[in-house]
């Protein structure tokens, strides 16, 4: 079906933004997104016009919330004050990025895996995990493996998971699986927690520190007031802001600004 989306939405920039590791570019400008047991194929036809291969019900119920389409990102970009020239530059370069509302479980495991790995290496490890343990969904284009649920990973041992290129993160994933299986970790229930409590509850999982917890809070629970700080963001804070974190000044849009900055920094590595 054809869609008209007048606000910021750039599929390529979202794919390169580092917030989701299962987006794939296919032929003829087609992108594949997966969340839960749903698979979307979507392409841009022209500015503001898109072709999406899904039912209207799935678009309204799954994919429009996934792309955070009720929020005006162009309006948010317009609130950046002139004095913050770097943020304006980053937001201009990142225009089209949106915060994806992903599966909490997938986001937690993916960002546990992400520690000290490049984006291609993270993608490879996540795909191996899906191929070995996830359910198969056949589409007109391909067979897609869904991200495995805790129950599907519960039979995996250390050696098997390590074979998915998880390295030292294997024990962290196993701890998350055990906690989810016992009920100590209720990914859906955590959605009712406030930001501070959510971060602390996520940090109960072995290997989850502030950065991973903030990524999960932002990319799975839509906590856009939170801005994860990784190596690239730390470099920007030091180089562009004299060591003073600029994100809290943006309030509920802090996490959105973080994504613009992260994308900009990744594409201007020579500056850092």
Q: pTM of the predicted model, to two decimals?
A: 0.95
Longest dimension (CA), the chain: 55
Helix (H, G, I), strand (E, B) or coil at 61: helix
pLDDT digits (tens, 9 = 90+) for 49-64: 999 999 999 999 999 9
Task: Report the distance separating Cα 120 and Cα 137, nearest Å.
Answer: 23
- DSSP-assigned letter for residue 177: H
Kindly list the distances between the CA atom of residue 208 and the CA atoms of 49, 182, 260, in Å, as whole numbers in the listed order.
Answer: 39, 18, 24
- Which residue in this structure is represented by tokens 């406030």? 194
Which among 100, 102, 104 is positioned nearest to 198, based on CA atoms? 104
Structural domains of the chain, with CATH: 104-221 (1.10.340.30)
**Is the CB of residue 55 less than 8 Å from the CB of residue 10?**
no
pLDDT digits (tens, 9 = 90+) for 97-118: 999 999 999 999 999 999 988 9
Task: Report the distance separating Cα 134 and Cα 197, nearest Å.
Answer: 30
pLDDT of the residue at 164: 94
**Is the CB of residue 21 less than 8 Å from the CB of residue 122?**
yes
């Amino acid at each position: 079906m054809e869609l008209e989306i007048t606000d910021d939405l750039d599929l390529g920039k979202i794919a390169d933004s580092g917030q989701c590791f299962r987006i794939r570019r296919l032929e003829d400008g087609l992108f594949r997104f997966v969340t839960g047991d749903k698979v979307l194929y979507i392409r841009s036809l022209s500015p503001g016009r898109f072709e999406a291969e899904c039912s209207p019900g799935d678009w309204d119920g799954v994919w429009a919330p996934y792309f955070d389409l009720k929020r005006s990102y162009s309006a948010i970009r317009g609130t950046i004050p002139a004095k913050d020239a770097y943020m304006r530059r980053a937001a201009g370069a990142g225009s089209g990025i949106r915060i994806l509302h992903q599966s909490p479980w997938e986001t937690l495991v993916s960002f546990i895996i992400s520690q000290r790995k490049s984006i291609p290496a993270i993608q490879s490890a996540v795909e191996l995990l899906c191929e070995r343990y996830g359910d198969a969904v056949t589409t007109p284009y391909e067979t897609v493996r869904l991200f495995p649920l805790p129950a599907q990973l519960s039979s995996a041992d250390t050696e098997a998971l390590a074979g998915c290129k998880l390295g030292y993160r294997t024990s962290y994933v196993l701890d998350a699986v055990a906690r989810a299986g016992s009920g100590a970790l209720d990914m859906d229930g955590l959605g009712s927690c406030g930001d501070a409590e959510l971060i602390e509850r996520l940090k109960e999982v072995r290997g989850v520190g502030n950065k991973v917890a903030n990524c999960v809070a932002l990319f799975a629970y839509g906590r856009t007031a939170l801005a994860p700080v990784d190596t690239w963001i730390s470099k920007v804070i030091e180089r562009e802001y004299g060591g003073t974190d600029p994100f809290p000044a943006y309030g509920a849009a802090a996490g959105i600004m973080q994504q613009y900055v992260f994308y900009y920094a990744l594409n201007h590595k020579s500056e850092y």
